[in-house]
């Protein structure tokens, strides 16, 4: 009998220990860092796929569309239990018990489709020079940035071979496109040498008359390096700098500029996506079916000045930077194609700049069980 009582007391102590284990235990500090990394990566990958998918959709004359992830709530519940029982109808008395634990995760995602005023602002409005040029001072290559986002600088047009066809009204007009590419190339050389300056000036709001605006100015510094001195002279001459001009204001517009100005005709995001879409080489079967048209570039020069190469195939790529599936084909950017990745990343940055804070008309909330 003494041994039976000893065993009962021993199991009562074990029961107390199990109950104590079922108390509060914090898992937030353990999950925070891991979830932040994983959700951040997933959201970035999703945005990349949406961007490439919209470019491909334009190639097929399909509608653009974006779905923003505006809110993410990740909830966790840890349930634990323990029990200890005694079978009284047996001899000797046999205690029994158990312990169980369950972790439940219930994330909730809130999406907002871009529509209405937000759609017009994001896709149809031209990019502002005051938002565009400071990106170059952040380290982005100015030649790639301008080739993607600028249609013309003063009288020099960024008109690529795939966007101009025989029979166009301006087919025989000299649009100085070679001058455009030379200027942006020289600007890149000056940027790398630290001789290119971009200053942003804010004009305060005038109550009841005009809102606050930003003005952007471009300057080209002199140098004693004979190799760069020639580049400085050519670039200043191409941009209509006079001997007394230290800076030039960059304004939105097209045509011959006024003294002291550089006119930049910037593109909308619809135009930016369209420029890349027209460069995609689709399978002949897709052209024959009427789903899309053939690449518009002249034979033998299809890839001239192309900034981003999109591959297409029916097999899912093993290792790529980003890929999407559309109309029974996979479209992707190669992981080892660094120039294409730079152009794609800049395009995503430009799209973020074009975004508006206006609330769209619909919200979609999806709880995940």
Report mean pLDDT in 10-residue bins for the chain, 369 residues: 52 47 51 66 84 93 76 60 59 64 64 69 86 89 94 86 48 66 95 93 68 85 92 94 92 90 93 90 89 68 72 91 93 94 94 67 50
Identify whether 326 is part of a domain. Answer: no
Specify the 3-state DSSP secondary structure of 246. coil
The model's pTM is 0.73
Length of the chain in terms of residues written: 369
Identify whether 171 is part of a domain. Answer: yes
Cα(187)–Cα(221) distance, integer angstroms: 12
Identify whether 202 is part of a domain. Answer: yes
Cα(51)–Cα(54) distance, integer angstroms: 5
Cα(159)–Cα(164) distance, integer angstroms: 7
Identify whether 183 is part of a domain. Answer: yes
- Which residues, at least 6 apart from 165, have a Cβ–Cβ distance to it below 8 Å? 171, 296
Strand ranges for the chain from DSSP E: 67-87, 94-113, 150-153, 156-157, 196-203, 213-220, 247-252, 261-266, 311-313, 320-326, 329-334, 364-367
pLDDT, one tens digit per residue, over 5-58 is 455 445 545 444 444 444 445 555 556 566 666 767 877 888 899 899 999 999
Identify whether 177 is part of a domain. Answer: yes
- Which residues, at least 6 apart from 121, have a Cβ–Cβ distance to it below 8 Å? 354, 355, 356, 358
Within 13 Å of residue 67, how many CA atoms lie on the same side as its CB?
12
Please give the tally of structural domains in the chain: 1
Q: Give 95's strand partners.
A: 86
Cα(232)–Cα(222) distance, integer angstroms: 7
Helix (H) or strand (E) holding 59: helix 28-59
pLDDT score for 94? 64
Contact 19, 82 (CB under 8 A): yes
Identify whether 306 is part of a domain. Answer: no
DSSP state of 282: -
pLDDT score for 12? 47
DSSP state of 35: H
Helix (H) or strand (E) holding 228: helix 226-238
Cα(347)–Cα(127) distance, integer angstroms: 12
Cα(242)–Cα(248) distance, integer angstroms: 10
Domain that holds residue 234: 149-267
Identify whether 153 is part of a domain. Answer: yes
Cα(219)–Cα(7) distance, integer angstroms: 89
- Using DSSP bridges, classify how beta strands 261-266 and 320-326 pair: parallel, antiparallel or unpaired: unpaired
- Which residues, at least 6 apart from 343, have a Cβ–Cβ distance to it below 8 Å? 144, 148, 276, 307, 308
pLDDT score for 178? 87
Identify whether 216 is part of a domain. Answer: yes
pLDDT, one tens digit per residue, over 158-200 is 875 444 444 544 444 455 678 999 999 999 999 999 999 999 8
């Amino acid at each position: 009998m003494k041994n039976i009582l000893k065993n009962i007391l021993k199991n009562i102590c074990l029961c107390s220990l199990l109950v104590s284990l079922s108390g509060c235990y914090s898992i937030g500090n353990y999950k925070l860092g891991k979830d932040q990394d994983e959700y951040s990566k997933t959201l970035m990958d999703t945005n990349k796929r949406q961007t490439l998918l919209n470019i491909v959709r334009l190639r097929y004359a399909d509608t653009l569309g974006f779905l923003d992830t505006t809110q993410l709530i990740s909830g966790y519940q840890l349930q634990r239990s323990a029990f200890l029982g005694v079978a009284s109808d047996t001899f000797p008395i046999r205690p029994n018990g158990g312990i169980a634990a369950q972790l439940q995760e219930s994330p909730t995602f809130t999406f907002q489709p871009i529509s209405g005023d937000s759609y017009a602002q994001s896709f149809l409005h031209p990019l502002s020079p005051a938002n565009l040029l400071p990106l170059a001072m952040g380290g982005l290559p100015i030649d790639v940035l301008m080739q993607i986002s600028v249609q013309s600088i003063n009288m020099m047009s960024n008109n690529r071979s795939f966007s101009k066809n025989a029979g166009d009204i301006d087919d025989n007009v000299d649009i100085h496109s070679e001058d455009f590419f030379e200027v942006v190339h020289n600007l890149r050389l000056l940027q790398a040498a630290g001789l290119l300056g971009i200053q942003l000036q804010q004009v305060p709001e005038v109550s009841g008359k005009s809102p606050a605006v930003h003005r952007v100015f471009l300057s080209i510094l002199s140098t004693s390096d004979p190799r760069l001195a020639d580049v400085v002279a050519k670039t200043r001459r191409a941009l209509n700098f006079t001997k007394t001009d230290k800076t030039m204001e960059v304004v939105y517009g097209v045509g011959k500029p006024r003294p002291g100005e550089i006119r930049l005709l910037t593109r909308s995001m619809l135009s930016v996506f369209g420029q890349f879409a027209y460069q995609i080489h689709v399978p002949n079967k897709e052209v024959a079916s009427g789903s899309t048209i053939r690449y518009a570039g002249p034979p033998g020069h299809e890839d001239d000045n192309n900034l981003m190469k999109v591959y297409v195939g029916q097999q899912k790529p093993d290792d790529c930077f980003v890929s999407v599936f559309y109309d029974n084909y996979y479209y992707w950017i190669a992981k080892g194609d660094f120039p294409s990745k730079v152009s794609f990343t800049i395009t995503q940055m430009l799209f973020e700049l074009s975004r508006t804070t206006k609330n769209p008309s619909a919200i979609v909330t999806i709880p995940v069980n």
